Amino acid sequence: MSILVDEHTRLLVQGITGREGLFHATQMQEYGTNIVAGTTPGKGGQVVLGKVPVFDTVAQAVLETGADTSVIYVPAGGAPDAILEAVDAGIGTIFCITEHIPVLDMLKVVAEVDARGVRLIGPNCPGATSPGKAKVGIIPGSIHLPGDVGLVSRSGTLTYEVVQALTDAGIGQSTCVGIGGDPIAGTNFTDVLTLFREDPETHAIVLMGEIGGDAEERAAAWKAEHMPDVPMVAFIAGRSAPPGRRMGHAGAIISGSGGTAEAKIAALEAAGIRVADTPSQIPGMLREAGYRA
């Protein structure tokens, strides 16, 4: 098994005829992901990637192809509506890759997404890969190895770094999930940990956090309570960040006493989770935490 995406995923790509959408749709299809449809208003009736039908609306795409998961490559101005379009059409799991969506727009979107019981990952996230089964988003497929370590991260390329480190060490992954670094996101660390706990094929966890907010602290507390025996290693980016300066992600602001790397590391260690100093330490620390591939 795995979480969020797998070989049964019927993927819809929203914005499939755009530059980003088409490039990544190609990559996903090459990885073996089952892309059943794409949408771009006004381009309905086209076929891309050899066999993928394009629809004007998500409702039509779902009706005709049974798509159950969508990934969004729509510019920030249209992305909130694209998420809601997927919700209204009955999509159950939505990945929003788009970055720079205004926070106030996301407040409304997540309220609606939650009310409708839909899973949204992102926005501003790299997506998720269940190695050997499906990849949805923009994580390079080549760095993965199938296995039983679940990875969840707020970052993009830092995720790749760690996946590569795991794969190089011969440690495979069940699913790697990038939840995105925006201040308002559909899915947080705890949500993903909850999914991993239910997955019988995930036997260890790697969590990649960063400064800002308190999602890592909450995840640490939840892990200690709900899955105390699962080996877990974490990493927090931003130890060297000067207080009060933004580091690209809106999420990475240190405000007041909370949200510092020190506070997060302390909370994780208090929950019995080892925190690596460098990504390259993670495979070794996983084994020290009791993980056996």
Partner 1 sequence: MKLQEYAAKELLVRAGLPVPPWSVADTPAEARSQAAAYLAAGADRVVIKAQVLVGGRGKAGGVKLAATADEAEAVAGAILGMDIKGITVRRVLVAPAADIVREYYLAAVLDRGARRIRIMGSAEGGVEIEQVAEEDPDAIVSLLAHPHLGLLDHQARQVAFAMGLGDRWKEAVPVIRGVFAAAIANDADLVEINPLAIVRSVEPDGTVSESIQALDAKVTLDDSALFRHPDLEALRDLSEEDPVDVEARGLGLSFIRLEGSIGCMVNGAGLAMATMDLVKRAGGEPANFLDIGGGAKADKVAAAMRLILSDASVQVILVNIFGGIARGDEVARGLLEARSQQTRDVPMVVRIVGTNADLAARILDESGVGIEAATSLDAAVERAVELARAAA
Instruction: Please identify every residue annotated as catalytic.
Output: 249
Site for partner 1 in 124-143 (CB under 8 A): 126, 138-140, 142-143
Contact call for residue 282 and partner 1 (CB under 8 A) = no
Handedness of CA 138, 140, 146, 151 (dihedral sign): negative
Total residues contacting partner 1 (rule CB under 8 A)? 77
Question: What track of x and - describes contact with partner 1 for positions 63 through 92 (by CB under 8 A)?
Answer: -------------x-x--xx-xx--x----
Contact call for residue 18 and partner 1 (CB under 8 A) = no
Exposure b/e, 59-83, CB count within 10 A at least 16 = b: eebbeebebbbbbbbbeeebbbebb
- Are 133 and 2 in contact by the 8 Å Cβ rule? The answer is yes
Site for partner 1 in 163-182 (CB under 8 A): 164, 181
Q: Which amino acid, 155? A: S
What SS3 state is found at 26?
helix
Select from 121, 187, 211 the least CA-distant residue to 129.
121
Contact call for residue 116 and partner 1 (CB under 8 A) = no
Decide whether 58 or 230 has the Cβ nearer to partner 1: 58
Decide whether 41 or 290 has the Cβ nearer to partner 1: 41
Contact call for residue 250 and partner 1 (CB under 8 A) = yes
Question: Token pair of 215, please?
Answer: 């999602």
Site for partner 1 in 35-64 (CB under 8 A): 41-42, 44, 56-60
Q: In angstroms, rounded to a whole number, what is the distance separating the alpha carbons of residues 202 and 2?
A: 7
Site for partner 1 in 191-210 (CB under 8 A): 208, 210
Q: In angstroms, rounded to a whole number, what is the distance separating the alpha carbons of residues 250 and 48?
A: 35
Considering only the stretches 4-12, 46-54, 108-116, 198-206, report the one whose residues sit in contact with partner 1 under the rule CB under 8 A: 108-116
What SS3 state is found at 69?
strand
Q: Figure out which of the listed residues 206, 211, 233, 282 binds partner 1, where binding follows CB under 8 A.
A: 211
What SS3 state is found at 144?
coil
Q: In angstroms, rounded to a whole number, what is the distance separating the alpha carbons of residues 258 and 255?
A: 6
Considering only the stretches 1-9, 46-54, 158-166, 222-230, report the one whose residues sit in contact with partner 1 under the rule CB under 8 A: 158-166
Decide whether 199 or 221 has the Cβ nearer to partner 1: 221
Considering only the stretches 63-71, 191-199, 250-258, 283-291, report the one whose residues sit in contact with partner 1 under the rule CB under 8 A: 250-258
Question: Token pair of 141, please?
Answer: 């497929």
- Are 24 and 52 in contact by the 8 Å Cβ rule? The answer is no
Considering only the stretches 30-38, 147-155, 191-199, 266-274, report the one whose residues sit in contact with partner 1 under the rule CB under 8 A: 147-155
